[in-house]
């Protein structure tokens, strides 16, 4: 009964959103059409229909009237593409977001903009990690901002520490590890969430390989 009730509510909501979107299109109001596609995408995502969610979010692109809208569209597509494990799509839309002509509009220092930048870096890091490009993945994760790493639907700050730290350990030269990890004021905050990994990186840097390998085996 619960499943039937939920399915019925979802179908009714879908019908309403679809009708709303048709009305917006008949009135040719770009902003309303963009929001309508986003609302439909959100609904499909809530229902677990990732394919249709991706289509709706992508269709919003033709109705974006500002750089902020384009970046928001990219973030929606990136999120669903991560769920679909479509890594080339993830990287493509990270690049699209960063190449938006007036990306400076969302490239400031305020909290929301830093969160957007960190989300893009982490999404790119996940895609590079999944395709075994570990050094590139490390660089993306190391560019994340600890204070603005707040998107549990993708990954946690502890995940960033673990993925970024291990990828850096596997691919960085000693001086790169020192400069970009050990002496990094920003990534240091991530590593505090994973003290064992921090110790592993320090042991490796200090050439204490036996201790490093033992700690690695304990993870």
* CATH number for the domain harbouring residue 14: 1.25.40.10
Is residue 113, in this structure, part of any structural domain at all? no
Between the CA atoms of 214, 131, 148 and 48, what dihedral angle is there, to the nearest 10 degrees? -120
| Residue range(s) defining the domain that contains residue 162 | 118-219
Report which of 110, 123, 146, 143 is spatially closest to residue 75, judged by C-alpha positions. 123
What local confidence, expressed as pLDDT, does residue 175 receive?
93
Are 147 and 206 found together in one domain?
yes
- pTM comes to 0.88
In this structure, are 40 and 84 located in the same domain?
Answer: yes
Q: Which of 107, 135, 162 lies at the terminal end of a domain, its last residue?
A: 107
Q: Do residues 76 and 169 both lie within one domain?
A: no
Residue 166 lies in a domain: yes
Question: Considering the domain boundaries, does residue 218 fall inside one?
Answer: yes
**Domain closes at, from 74, 107, 140:** 107
* Residue 163 sits in the same domain as residue 184: yes
Answer yes or no: do 84 and 181 share one domain. Answer: no
pLDDT at 22: 84
Residue 46, domain member (yes or no): yes
Nearest alpha-carbon partner for 188 in 170, 168, 213: 168
Domains in the chain, number: 2
- Are residue 103 and residue 124 in the same domain, yes or no? no
Alpha carbon distance 37, 59 (integer Å) = 7
Residue 8 lies in a domain: yes
Q: Profile the chain (219 residues) by mean pLDDT over runs of 10 residues.
A: 76 83 83 95 95 96 92 97 97 94 60 87 98 98 94 93 97 95 95 96 94 91
Question: Which H/E stretch holds residue 218?
Answer: helix 209-218
176 and 216, same structural domain?
yes
Per the domain annotation, does 169 fall within a domain? yes
Same domain membership, residue 208 and residue 136: yes
Domain boundary (81, 107, 133) is at 107
Q: Report the pLDDT value the prediction gives residue 108, as an integer from 0 to 100.
A: 54
* pLDDT in the model for residue 107: 54
Whole-number pLDDT of residue 110: 65
Q: Do 1 and 25 share a structural domain?
A: yes
- Judgement on whether residues 95 and 182 belong to the same structural domain of the protein: no
Judge if 133 and 179 occupy the same domain. yes
- Look at residue 36 in the predicted model and tell me its pLDDT: 94
**Residue 167, domain member (yes or no):** yes
37's CB contacts (< 8 A; 6+ apart) are 21, 56, 57, 59, 60, 63
3-state secondary structure of 208: coil
Look at residue 112 and tell me if it is in a domain.
Answer: no
**Residue 193 and residue 94 share a domain:** no
């Amino acid at each position: 009964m619960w499943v039937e009730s939920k399915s019925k509510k979802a179908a009714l909501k879908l019908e309403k959103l679809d009708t709303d979107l048709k009305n917006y299109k008949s009135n040719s109001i770009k902003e309303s059409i963009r929001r309508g596609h986003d609302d439909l995408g959100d609904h499909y995502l809530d229902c677990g229909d990732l394919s249709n969610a991706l289509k709706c979010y992508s269709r919003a692109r033709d109705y974006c009237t500002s750089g902020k809208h384009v970046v928001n569209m990219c973030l929606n597509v990136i999120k669903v593409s991560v769920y679909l494990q479509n890594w080339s799509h993830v990287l493509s839309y990270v690049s699209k977001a960063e190449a938006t002509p007036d990306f400076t509009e969302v490239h400031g220092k305020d909290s929301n903009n830093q969160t957007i930048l960190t989300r893009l870096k982490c999404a790119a890091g996940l895609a590079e990690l999944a395709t075994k490009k570990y050094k590139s993945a490390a660089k993306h994760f190391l560019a994340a901002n600890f204070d603005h790493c707040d998107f549990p639907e993708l990954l946690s700050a502890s995940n960033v520490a673990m993925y970024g730290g291990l990828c850096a350990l596997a691919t960085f030269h000693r001086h790169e590890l020192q400069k970009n990890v050990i002496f990094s004021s920003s990534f240091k905050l991530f590593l505090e969430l994973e003290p064992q990994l921090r110790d592993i990186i320090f042991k490796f840097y200090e050439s204490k390989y036996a201790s490093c390998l033992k700690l690695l085996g304990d993870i």
